[in-house]
Structure 1
Amino acid sequence: MKVLMFYELAEDGLAKVPAHMAGHQARLREFHGRGVLLMAGPYGAPPVGALGVFTSRAAAEEFARDDPFMLNGIVGRCSIHDWNEGLA
């Protein structure tokens, strides 16, 4: 089982992305390097949110807790869901 984390942009979130992208990307690399973040990226054109695939709920919650995008109002809503992948 994997865990999906969905970020939905705050109404004014996209405008704040450039100021916090470096810190967010560093966090992505850290968690990916630890092997607990399998993939992540924005969705929509222009982006309306992002999706991350984690190996555990604890890792997803840890990521979100101190992510610059969460701390600086870029994300309006975060949800975390268990996912039983159909193809592995």
Structure 2
Amino acid sequence: MKYVVSYESADNVAERAPEHLPAHKARLDEYHGRGDLLMIGVFADPQADGSMAIFRSRQAAEDFVAGDPFVLNGVVRGYTIREWNEILVPE
């Protein structure tokens, strides 16, 4: 079981994100470095479609979001955390 965080971008995300990006990136690096954050990325149109991240545990996802500068400073308008059953396709 993995946990997917989906972010919904606030208005003008491209203008708002750069100010908070260094602190957001530091948090990403911290969670990735300890193995809690597995993947993260934006969709083709971040303003319309937002972004997502995959975490190893619900607790890590909740903790990340609770202190994320993008959430705390309104770069994202909202988020969801959902359980995801990863299925590995045999080679």
Which TM class, normalised by the smaller chain length?
Answer: over 0.9
Give the superposition deviation at 1:13.
Answer: 2.8
In 2, Cα distance between the equivalents of 1:34 and 1:60? 13
Contiguous gaps of at least 5 residues in structure 2: none
List aligned pairs for 1:1-88, cutoff 5 A. Answer: 1-45=1-45, 47-48=46-47, 49-87=50-88
Flag structure 1 segments of 5+ consecutive residues without an equivalent: none
Give the percent of matched residue pairs that are identical in Structure 1 and Structure 2: 47
Amino acid at match of 1:8: E
Structure with bigger gyration radius? 2
Deviation at 1:15, TM superposition (A): 1.5
**TM-score, with structure 1 as normaliser:** 0.92
> RMSD between aligned alpha carbons?
1.2
Residues 21-53 of structure 1: CA deviation (Å, up to 9, x unaligned): 0000000000000100001011123x1311100
Q: Determine the C-alpha separation between the residues in 2 that align with 1:4 and 1:87.
A: 17
Stretches of 4+ aligned residues off by more than 4 angstroms:
none
Counterpart CA distance in 2 for 1:73 and 1:15 is 12
Whether contact under 8 Å (1:13, 1:73) holds in the other structure is no
* Higher fraction of helix: 2
CA distance in 2, matches of 1:36, 1:51: 14
Equivalent-residue separation in structure 2 for 1:12 and 1:78 (angstroms): 17
Query: Does the CA contact (< 8 Å) of 1:4 and 1:52 recur in 2?
Result: yes
Is contact 1:37-1:52 (8 Å) kept? yes
